[in-house]
Structure 1
């Protein structure tokens, strides 16, 4: 499979139609290779349709606008609702009507106009040091991260990463703009260091004693537990599901959409339907440690061992509607500085 890391660092020619073979299916992906290649490989084995994929960290929506009707892209894979909303806002996707997708993907994880579909869910959890903090209680709330008791104890990646933007957007929806700004100021004041790195890096910092708690997506714990070089990091923390006595833990999705000018629409639809199937959903669960969206598909044994939790039922559309305000608040409090 062809790879792109990141889009901004490579020549635009990498996205030219000539880099894709005809009669196949062409994917632009924000998701990392190790998270999607097993499913794409399985699709090719089952159908004989080759998947050509370009990976990027940023810029897919902008590139699709530039390419217009000459774009080779068929299917777009994204990391969260923010990226999906960006694609629909820029008008670079098309509605997809499929009885299979309708049956496999619950309505809460579909766009009302059928322009995007969720594939997996994950929680924005809080990790806590087993040695210095222990398991956080059932009454622990995201709001608690701004309390004086966490002074100098929090690590996180950039506030402007899509995962954190979505959490902040949900906070705005639940508590309003003013209260969320005050919360962000409190969290910033409690940071052990400047926001940096990725979610796994925050757990590593907990292991090293640089901080005691961190924000992180749930599936990263599974990835660390099964990586011999990172297992010790994972074993140093508990995973916690905040807001169990109130709104429920914030949940985000990975998702997919069909490109507006998909040249291989039939194959694109086959791929999208496959990714919503029992086979692919089980692979997401077992390989990626994500929560499948399809009803009846079991969690992996490891994920199930983390326990059940109440998820926030806030609609993804409402979360997306607050993204610009979330970014504005991050700038106002200078969260990343």
Structure 2
């Protein structure tokens, strides 16, 4: 591990931290962030130094400590945001500009803030799954789905968050029964990513799969994957006593930020109507700010009612949810 940490430190210290610059560690690929960065710099004159940190963001910030040049982190999934908070590498930000973000989509201690949402939905084969056959997440444990479900591993962050939400709605005993039921209905052992499951539906290996909404946009834009996307439709299941599970991409200010004024300017910009439109359009996600329209493609997927369960609660339940997934050996 030591050479990897040293390499990260060398990369990080190469980032300048000047008065009119802001340094960003991003879990999202640079091409997905660059349109936002360009718009921010054009508006403010503040240059953004962007470092793509695909893995180990918590470890990197911990290793750099107070000397870290990072001002802002951009990442996906409430689990990753929760891990950053738990590691003590973030600081609270009190700012009225963030009141436009729904309370359930930001940390209850103002450590992190949601920027866009994505729904954890079902991709369903257009012919082999009847209209109305998909209803609730609870229904996935029903025997009618025996041998018909595909999914990536359930220890993946996206499925852990879904399980944590199920746990919040139903408690431990019912969550274990649900996990066992869904596992019994799998067509094959969990593997691959969300798009690989859609490929499996297209190939006739299963009929439905769990996935994030934005992957449809990515598949439609990829000539090699467009055929997979054309084979399925998006269905928005709900919890029996709630709505459709959503997760976020989010932002936070680091505890060591050397350019706090510029960092705050960037964070304020990211919740502006302009930035929300750019972010949602580029990433095929849903804006968090009310009144900002979805892209035409995303709007074509239909409307849904998002579950009102706070993501902070989901983040808190994540360790217990992971324990239950491993207890039933879901991925085994």
What is the TM-score when the length of structure 1 is the normalising length?
0.92
Provide the residue aligned with 2:135 in structure 1: 140
Distance 1:126 1:174, change over 3 A: same
How far apart are residue 243 of structure 1 and its match? 1.9
2:67 to 50, 67, 70: 70
How far apart are residue 236 of structure 1 and its match? 0.6
Contact 1:121 1:293 in 2 (8 A): yes
Contact 2:115 2:288 in 1 (8 A): yes
Write the mapping of 1:60-99 to structure 2, written as runs, cut at 5 A: 60-99=57-96
2:276 to 275, 281, 294: 281
Contact 2:17 2:258 in 1 (8 A): no
RMSD, aligned CA: 1.9
Contact 2:114 2:288 in 1 (8 A): yes
Secondary structure in structure 1 of the residue aligned to 2:115? strand
Distance 1:38 1:333 in 2: 43
Distance 1:284 1:146 in 2: 35
Secondary structure in structure 2 of the residue aligned to 1:122? strand
Contact 1:136 1:240 in 2 (8 A): no
Contact 1:128 1:135 in 2 (8 A): no
Which range moves more in the overlay, 243-252 or 226-235?
243-252
Does residue 1:197 correspond to 2:196, yes or no? Answer: no
How far apart are residue 45 of structure 1 and its match? 2.7
Provide the residue aligned with 1:54 in structure 2: 51
> CA-to-partner distance for each residue in 1:45-74, whole Å, 9 max, x for gaps?
322322222223331112211211001110
Contact 2:103 2:310 in 1 (8 A): no
Contact 1:8 1:58 in 2 (8 A): no
Contact 1:115 1:257 in 2 (8 A): yes
Secondary structure in structure 1 of the residue aligned to 2:14? helix
Contact 2:120 2:213 in 1 (8 A): yes
Does residue 1:161 correspond to 2:156, yes or no? Answer: yes
How far apart are residue 175 of structure 1 and its match? 0.9
> CA-to-partner distance for each residue in 1:74-94, whole Å, 9 max, x for gaps?
001110111111111111111
Contact 1:249 1:311 in 2 (8 A): yes
Distance 2:138 2:117 in 1: 22
> CA-to-partner distance for each residue in 1:237-282, whole Å, 9 max, x for gaps?
0101112764111011111000001011111111111111111101
Does residue 1:213 correspond to 2:208, yes or no? Answer: yes
2:329 to 294, 309, 334: 334
> CA-to-partner distance for each residue in 1:27-49, whole Å, 9 max, x for gaps?
11122333322212222232232
Provide the residue aligned with 1:34 in structure 2: 31
Provide the residue aligned with 2:18 in structure 1: 22
> CA-to-partner distance for each residue in 1:276-307, whole Å, 9 max, x for gaps?
11111011222222110111101112221222
Distance 1:71 1:29 in 2: 14
Distance 1:108 1:268 in 2: 23
Secondary structure in structure 2 of the residue aligned to 1:11? helix
> CA-to-partner distance for each residue in 1:189-212, whole Å, 9 max, x for gaps?
221222111111111111111211
Provide the residue aligned with 1:4 in structure 2: none
Contact 2:17 2:259 in 1 (8 A): no
